[in-house]
Every structure is written in C-alpha cells, then in structure tokens.
A and B are shown apart, each in its own frame.
Chain A
C-alpha cells in the first residue's frame, strides 16, 4: 500500500469547499467553457465560505485527503457580506496550526474566485494538484494504521509465559 502510493502516478485526493455564489458558479462556468483540469478535486458545495468549519478541514485530512481547497468570493464581494473574511481569519490561524502538526502549507489553500473566473478555477486546481503531487501522499489513515500495528504486542510476554511454565 505505501509502495502503491509512492508510485510516480500517485494521484492526490483534494477535497474542495466551494461557495455557491462565486466559486461553485465559476466551476460551472469552467465546465460550460469546457476548460480541462486535473480530476483530483472533489467539490462540496456550501452556501458561503464562511460555512467552512475548521472541523471539516481536519476531518478531510483525517479521512485521507491530501489537500483541502476552499473557494470563496473576493474580499468585499461576499454574497453574505462578510463570510469570506470570517473564513480568511480562521484560515490564517489554522494554517499555522497545521504547520505545527506537520501538514505542509500547500495542502490547505484558500482562493478567491468570482463567478466569472472559470479560468482561475482551472489554474488553481491544476497548480494545487501539481504542488500536492510533489509533496507526496499525506495518507493520515494509513499512517495511523501503521502506527496501530504496535498495539496488542506486549514485549516480555513470552518470557513471562516461560517463567509461568517453569513455576
């Protein structure tokens, strides 16, 4: 499994949260314009980037995402006035915290993409996929699974059993 991931054709999985009014619409526009981009991103539609709970981001990483992309309206353009600023503020601290927890900067990205920027959806996705690809898999579930192999193994157990047999 790890070997499988390290293969050169490793395809990262990126979870994206796109706001309904700007970035999701831009992604639709990219589709209508038949722009081609990397297939690694899975989009979850939310009403506003302000809805993105940091828990969602951590959950995505914990469930095996190699990257998380958040798309919102440009500053000043939020359909709900200020949701994007709220996200930006969380993002700034979350990013620092994730760094402390060993998750590379490029794995979490916040982009302002307006409804008309289909081209930007393509550019951002392609760039992020490249960057995350270069970092290699994050694979937290696999990582934990490997660590958990230590469980149920108790050193000295054999010796104790031996001693018990002697006794």
Chain B
C-alpha cells in the first residue's frame, strides 16, 4: 500500500525530530510514502477559535489534495503524525459528513480552486499504520537492537485518541505500548497515558501549563520509567524542554528522557542516532545508551 505523508507545520520546525525519525523508520521498514505536495497548515486548534468554516476549508484542502495526488490508488491513506493535525483532519471529515450544508459550501469553495473533495481519504496515525497495517510480527522480525531493560512510559496525549478513538481505546490506549513491547522495551503501566500536558497553553499561560506537564513527568519518574515515549510534537517539546523550568518551580530535580516513539523504535531497528534526530534533543538520551550497553543508569 502507498501512503501519503502529511507533515504539518510542527514537523518542519520544533517537531523536526519526529519527522526525521518517522521517515527513517518507514524507510527501514520499506513503507511506501510520498509527501503531500503543496500541503498547507491544518488550522490546528487556533483556527477553530477564529472562524470555523474557514478552518474546515483549510483542512479539507489537504484532504482534497491527497485525493487528487492519489487518484490512481484504490484507497487514499494519509499519515498525519502530529496529533493536532491528525485530529483536525479527522474532525473536518466527520464534521462535513454530519453537516451536509457545510460540506456543500466547502466542496463548492474547493471546486472553485480546482479541487475535488469527496471525503474518501482515510486519515491515519503512524501508530495505527505501524501496528494495524504493518503489524507487530513484521516489526519484531526487523528488530536488531531490542530495547532490553529499558522501561518506557507510553504517552499518547490528548488528540490522538480524543475526541475520536478511531484505532485505539479512548481511555486506555495500547498501540504504542504494543510497539514498544515489540521493540523489546518494558512498558510502564500508568494512568497518565492520555492526560493533557498543557501544551497549547505553554506558549500563552505558562503558569497553568507547567504543573500539567510536571505531574506527567513526575508520575513517569515515580513509576521508574527511563523514557517517556510521545506521539505528538507539542507533547514532546513540552515534556522535554521545560524540565528545567519545572524543577525550578517545583523545587525538584527530575530528569527523564522524552522521545518520540519513532526514535525508540528506530534505535531498536538499528538506525543510527543521528538519523533519528537524537542530536537535536536538548541532551542525548544517555541513560538509554548506557542501559543498552548493559551499564548503569546515569540519572535516576
């Protein structure tokens, strides 16, 4: 099957690591994809706050582009790795199905600019694609450096499973856990999997956002996780880059590696760290390297 890859704005900047590691993993697994040509911003959460119909047009343009660029394929599968993009594209599709009047307006507007929207594209999360299309069994076959001894706390964030749970359980999702297990890691059972990290507020009301991130990092640490695996550029950024601020605000000295699940999977698939964007993290995940070498943890 051929996929169309929709990066979204974040994966080109703060979430660059996500893109690098995801694409490396897909290359190693021989997953066929091409980037959506001339994609535009999905509108994210902010657009909806200003003008809803424009927000739907914005998102629908990408779906229509995908339909156009995949018109010779039996199915149109769009991989949207960013949780916000994933949710917004899904929401747009569902909303337009439920509201024919809005759909007509959006379809008409797109037609004006030469695009045809039918809604036949399927919006897919990379977790869904890896577990349900590719399959854990196939992945396990390709694991060369199992993450033995590494305790991973899978963190899905909000919008991967909310409000729509298209490929996983809404309250206790498990796809990422299954992937991490396939990669040889030990997964941590915790109840923070889908708790909000406050990402959309870090830029604006840091006082509110910081405690939200803190309880997650704190709980991961408490459950003796070595790494938090994320599937959202904002979550990763928030949980990784604000650790210093958390420590100063809450007078603590937590330190935990926060990676994309694709990075962890990439390590297990034997991909070199640079191709997984490890060098772009604030500090490289030394703990993991040590454990994999069979050494002791650098920080606890």
Question: Do A and B contact each other directly (Cβ–Cβ < 8 Å)?
Answer: no
- What residues make up the interface of B, taking CB atoms closer than 8 Å to A? none
